[in-house]
Chains A and B, each alone.
Chain A
Amino acid sequence: MGLWNNKNQKNSYDTCFNGSDLIITNYLTDGLLVFDKNNRLFLINPQGQNLLDVTKDESIGKSVLELTRFEKFEPLIDFLGAGLVEHSKQEVKIGDNQIFEVTSVHIKAGQERISTLVILHDITREKMADAMKSEFVTLAAHQLRTPISGIKWSLQILLDGDLGALNEEQKKIVEEAFKTNNKVINLINDLLNVAEIEEGRYLNKVTLSDMREILLGVIEDYKQELEKKNISVDFLEPKDVLPKVMLDTHKIKIAITNIFDNAVRYTPQGGKITVSVMGYKEEVEVKIEDTGIGIPVAQQEKIFTKFFRSTNVRKVDTEGTGLGLYITKNIVEAHDGKIWFESEQDKGTAVHFVIPIKKNYGQFLTSDFY
């Protein structure tokens, strides 16, 4: 087989394929399109014709512009551009209900581009299954909230003494039940957040906001907890005015709360947390540093994955859901930001994230993308 050899140069929209290569393409399960150096369609395999709803005869030899007349070609060409730019595994929505993962590659002889390969991988079904899974989680979580509310309310009524005063022992056990029930409520909230992330519609209202205010708000929320554990908090801010950034403030608050909650939870009595916010030319950075138990080196690479909890953390505290930092990372990345950390066991952890000031929102943010 002469893959990629250059001898078959008869027709005007020539590429670099010979006969046996073309036969192979008939059997691919992905759609394959080959454009010649003038961006005219040279080859479209049967699966490609199927996916794009065109026949070979009506499409071969057509220019990119001419192809946009076909309904399903249009969004594809829109995505690739008239110059057929290279992409790797990008999701493209075709019509109302199809999603392809599109890869485009330039084939070159020396410096010259002699053809462009476009591979269409149909992921409609996977996307549908994903959406159904998220919907299921959302539905289940909402359904769980009703009985959980019933438990919360009845325990509170007992604690309020509405049905007669409780003795110390009774009160203690009902309080424990109330706390345990609240853990379930938190877990349900986390599950809802995760489902929302995975549905890809994560940011709601993005407005020009002050990161400083959000940070101070979170610290304020933990006032009691900090006093109880005798943990001091230093807040470091720039002398100059901090630039405002485009944020979904509600979501960023969840992200910061998750980081701060870890810092409080895993820092022993009398420890210290330092929260810093820094403004740079192109981004705002937040750093939350603690003197806590740290993350074992061997487990550091996993800390942003779903349901992960490090071994030392599990001993200190059984409450965490292992979803907090996963959610945080997704929120930061939805803002086109980056998150990272340094940690040493028994010394402490510093989590940093940056959010760009001027930004180009990615597809992730377009709520109607899917």
Chain B
Amino acid sequence: MKKILVIEDDKFLRELISQKILKEGYDIAEAVDGEKGIEAVKNEKPDLVLLDLILPGIDGFEVLARIKADPSIAQIPVIILSNLGQKDDIEKGIKMGAIDYMIKAHFTPGEIIAKVRTILK
């Protein structure tokens, strides 16, 4: 079973998306801040990461940078799932190696899962 790691500090959003992911037949791992997020990527070895950007402590960009700098986990696809929607942020995220960038308010959980599914194919 493929495993998806959700790094999201908002409890409600984390639960909503996790619930949907489980329902779609994936395994789930969760992290509530950047520090725990990086640990989880290393320990859980997920098949894909959904990464929020505004996180307590180290932010999502830093988490992404550390994932991409570590050869043992650098190949794991990361989708940024954030509400920062300025062009600068999107370009920065993609440039740093995120496979996609989704603005939370613009997508439903179903659409997010559909994206996950295409990437994991």
A152 CB to closest chain B CB, in angstroms? 7
Pairwise interchain contact B105-A185, C-beta atoms closer than 8 A: yes
CA distance A148 to B83 in the complex (A): 10
Pairwise interchain contact A146-B13, C-beta atoms closer than 8 A: yes
B101 CB to closest chain A CB, in angstroms? 14
A residues contacting the other copy or chain, number (CB 8 A) = 22
Known: A156-B109, A192-B85. A149 touches B104 (CB 8 A): yes
Instruction: Determine if A65 is an interface residue (Cβ-Cβ < 8 Å).
Output: no
Pairwise interchain contact B108-A153, C-beta atoms closer than 8 A: yes
Pairwise interchain contact B105-A204, C-beta atoms closer than 8 A: no
- Could you say which of A138, A149, A204 has the most chain B C-beta atoms within 10 Å of its C-beta? A149
**Chain A, range 140-161, C-beta contacts under 8 Å to B:** 142, 145-146, 148-150, 152-154, 156-157, 160
Known: A160-B110, A188-B105. A154 touches B16 (CB 8 A): yes
Give the size range of B's interface with the partner. 20 to 34
Pairwise interchain contact A149-B19, C-beta atoms closer than 8 A: no
**Chain B, range 48-80, C-beta contacts under 8 Å to A:** 54
Known: A152-B108, A156-B109. A204 touches B87 (CB 8 A): yes
Instruction: Determine if B106 is an interface residue (Cβ-Cβ < 8 Å).
Output: yes
Pairwise interchain contact A150-B83, C-beta atoms closer than 8 A: no
Pairwise interchain contact B84-A149, C-beta atoms closer than 8 A: no
CA distance A152 to B103 in the complex (A): 12
B65 CB to closest chain A CB, in angstroms? 21
A151 CB to closest chain B CB, in angstroms? 9
**Chain A, range 151-196, C-beta contacts under 8 Å to B:** 152-154, 156-157, 160, 162, 185, 188-189, 192, 196
Instruction: Report whether over half of chain A's contact residues are helix, strand or loop; otherwise say mixed.
Output: helix
Q: B: which residues have CB within 8 A of A?
A: 10, 12-13, 16-17, 19-20, 23, 54, 83-87, 103-106, 108-110
Pairwise interchain contact A162-B83, C-beta atoms closer than 8 A: no
**A-B pairs under 8 A by CB, number:** 54
B103 CB to closest chain A CB, in angstroms? 8
CA distance A150 to B83 in the complex (A): 11
Beyond the given A146-B10, A150-B13, please list 8 additional residue pairs across the A-B interface where CB-CB is below 8 A: A142-B84, A146-B83, A152-B105, A153-B13, A153-B108, A157-B19, A188-B105, A192-B85
A177 CB to closest chain B CB, in angstroms? 14
Instruction: Determine if A113 is an interface residue (Cβ-Cβ < 8 Å).
Output: no
Pairwise interchain contact A145-B105, C-beta atoms closer than 8 A: yes
Q: Which of A148, A160, A205 sits near B105, CB closer than 8 Å?
A: A148
CA distance A189 to B85 in the complex (A): 9
Chain A residues with CB under 8 Å of B106's CB are: 185
Chain A residues with CB under 8 Å of B19's CB are: 157, 162
CA distance A322 to B23 in the complex (A): 41
Chain B residues with CB under 8 Å of A149's CB are: 13, 83, 104-105
